[in-house]
Structures are given as C-alpha cells and as structure tokens.
Amino acid sequence: MTPPRQFVIEADGGSRGNPGPAGYGAVVIDPVTGETLAEAAEYIGVATNNVAEYKGLIAGLRAVKALVPDASADGGPRVHVRMDSKLVVEQMSGRWKIKHPDMKPLAAEAARVLPASAVTYEWIPRERNKHADRLANEAMDAGKRGRQWEPSSSTAALDTPKSSVAAALPPVSGPPGDAAAGAARARAALNRPAAGTPQVGWAAAPDLGEPATFVLLRHGETALTPQKRFSGSGGTDPELSAAGRRQAECAAEAFAARGTVQEIVSSPLRRCRETAGAVAARLGLEVRIEDGLRETDFGAWEGLTFGEVGERHRADLDAWLASAKAAPTGGGESFAEVARRVAAARDRLITRYAGRTVLVVTHVTPIKTLVRLALGAPPESLFRMELSAASVSTVAYYADGNASVRLLNDTSHLR
C-alpha cells in the first residue's frame, strides 16, 4: 500500500533523575485516518530530559524517512511534529538559540533527517502527548530490567486513545461552532512556515469569506438497498429502483425550492449519476464526475448481507470491524485507503469551488468519511453514523482550513 505523503509525529523523552536513566518514544500518525503508522522507543542510559526529548524527535523523523525513502526529494512528505518540550519545539522552529553544547549536535542531526521546509513544530501540553510519553516510560522500564524496548511487548497503543485528526493538530482560529477541523486543517498545519506567527483567537480572526459548502446527497435506493447488501464499486453497478427514482425527484424538488445549489458533482457510479441527473435536470445545471467519490470496493463481499459475510468470512469481517487498515476479502479497499482517496477528492473540490455551494452526490462511506474528517473523529466513528438513502448532510470548508458540519442525515424532503 502506498504510504501517505503527510505525517504527524508525536515524540517525548524522559529521565528519572535528570540526569538519570533515560529513554524516548515516538509515534508516527496518518493525519487523515488517525492511524498509527510507526512506533519507536529506546533506553539510552544516563542522560537529561532534553537529550532524551531530542532523541525522540530524531527517531520520529527517521521513522517517517523509513516510510518514505524519497523523503529528501522534491515533493517529499510534509511532517508536523508535536511535542511537550518547549525547548525542542522553539529551538527547532528557529525562535530560540541553541546554546547548550549537548543540544547543538542533536539539533543538527534532527535537521539533517528531512528538509527543514517540510517540517513544522507545535508545542502541546503533556496530557496530549500520552502515546509518546508511554513509549518513553516503557523504554525506561525496559532499561531498568537490563533490556531494550521491544515493539511486541508494548501496550502504549492499547492503553492510549487512538490519535484522531482533532488530537493531532494545532488550535485553530474561527468561531467555537466551527472548531471541528479534519484533514483540511492538517493540511494547513503541515504547509505553514516552520517559524510562522502564532494563530490568533477567533474574535481577532480575519474575514475568511464564504466557505466552499458541500451539500452531501446519498444516492437513492437500488434493489440492494432495502436488503442491506454490500454494494460498492467492485461489483455490479445497479441502477436506481422505482423507489430510488422517486427519492431523487423529491430531492430535486427540494433543492429547486431552496435555490442554493450552484454546482453538481457526482460519483461515477450509475446510482449516483441517475440521482444527480434528476436534480441537474430540475436546476438546469451540468453534472461533473469525480472518480474519488466512488464507493468502497468491498471485494468478495459485494452483493452479500452482513450476516452472509459473517458466515463465509468471519475472520476477515472481525479484522475489518477492528481496524481501518483491514480490507474486505478478495482485494477490497480498507477504510484507510478510502479516506485518503476521499480526502484528495475533497481537496480538489474545495480548490475548484471556493466560496460556492456544491451538491455532491455520492455514497455512504464517502459521506461518512467527509463528516468524520471534518469532526476529527476516529475511524470507528464510521460505524456510529446512520445515513439513509437520499439523505442530505452538509459540511462547510473555510479558507483557513476549518470545517463545520452543519447537517447530518436529513430526510425531511422525502416525507
């Protein structure tokens, strides 16, 4: 699987005595899915807290470079480092001078791992750096026993809540109601200058103008919908049923009455194109196709009910329910893969339709993914949203990368 091109590193180090027995920990996170991509920890003998913290940073940067071997090339990865060490963050950001002789070679080593222009830094309180802190303590505990930390014995990932997009990003400007951030906010953090100025509070924030507003319409019913069968992009491409066509017409009537939709974009699959076509005919608009909005490829599960999948592929189903990285049987797509595809499509649409209201006709998983990313919610939240056929949800995306979920699963137009 192709690794992402954007990463969040959380790093920490500690010393029991300062100086004393010391260790570090680092975790690399996918800012789109919130998944842990790599962990590193090591007992380093007697050292100070600051030395251990720098070594944690270096380990995190090296872990990213191992994931993306061409890290030093143009177009390489973007990395956002989060640490509770004010000293390391300020020195690596270039705002504090490095005076201590022990720190200079460590800072220089960290700066050599990846291009300086690709890395940004953020200070966070210790309680928001629990995963890396736990790894550092595991390394020190191992050193106390005369051993080195082993990934197989680590419980840091189990004992620490999953790093979500919201937890992996810096504070944002904007009204409290717009504070949910998602991968668009990750992009803003990952692309800002390393020594950028602090962000301001929402009361002093500049006018960001009109957002790109996505009105997310799930397609109408097909013959498979009432039977609750897996219907993705890897099997047949069913048409709308008679009920689905009626739902599409109801949606078209509602959007015509509101008069707010300015553009229409659709998944390439037939059920979405038919739904979008009904609205477009009523509004007199053109439908543009965006391949990134297609439904998940459910592999061998296509056309089966949840119960049938459980009977035939129980182990694969259990793994799929437990991890966003697990794919359906037979070469399907994992939720992590879908999230990266959908996030890329979202970014293209935000750029293309800045300040406009766009009807986005797509499927259950892409809509839930867009909502999840906007809220900064963990991958398991996909299983905690209800999304009816022909329902409407709305997300607005602001110029500073903020996202605001305004509506979810509205079916009032179908009554």
> Is 219 known to be catalytic?
yes
User: Measured between alpha carbons, how far is 30 from 377 in angstroms, rounded to an integer?
Assistant: 13
Q: Which residue has the tokens 């649409």?
A: 349
Distance CA 220, CA 248 (A): 6
Ligand-binding annotation for 82, yes or no, is no
CB 220 within 8 A of CB 247: yes
- Is the bond preceding 226 in cis, omega lying within 30 degrees of 0? no
DSSP, residue by residue, 338-372: HHHHHHHHHHHHHHHTTTSEEEEEE-HHHHHHHHH
Kind plus residue range of the DSSP H or E element containing 410: strand 403-410
**Pure H helices in 94-209:** 103-113, 130-144, 156-159, 183-191
Enclosing H/E stretch for 79: strand 78-83
**CA 166 vs CA 128, 160, 242, 346: distances in Å:** 11, 15, 41, 18
Distance CA 358, CA 27 (A): 37
Single-letter code of the amino acid located at 57: L
Contact residues for 293 (Cβ-Cβ < 8 A; gap 6+): 265, 266, 267, 268, 272, 342, 345, 360, 361, 362, 363, 366
Residue of 39, 53, 290, 295 marked active site: 295
Residues 80, 131, 219, 313: which is the catalytic one?
Answer: 219
SS3 158: helix
Give me the numbers of helices (H) and strands (E) for the chain, helices first please: 12, 11
Q: Kind of pairing, strands 263-266 and 287-289?
A: parallel
Q: Residue 290: what are its φ and ψ, rounded to 5°?
A: -125, 110
* Known active-site residue 363: no
How far apart, in whole angstroms, are the C-alpha atoms of residue 334 and residue 380? 13
Q: Which residues are annotated as a binding site for substrate?
A: 271
Catalytic residue positions, numbered: 219, 295
Q: Which residues are annotated as a binding site?
A: 271
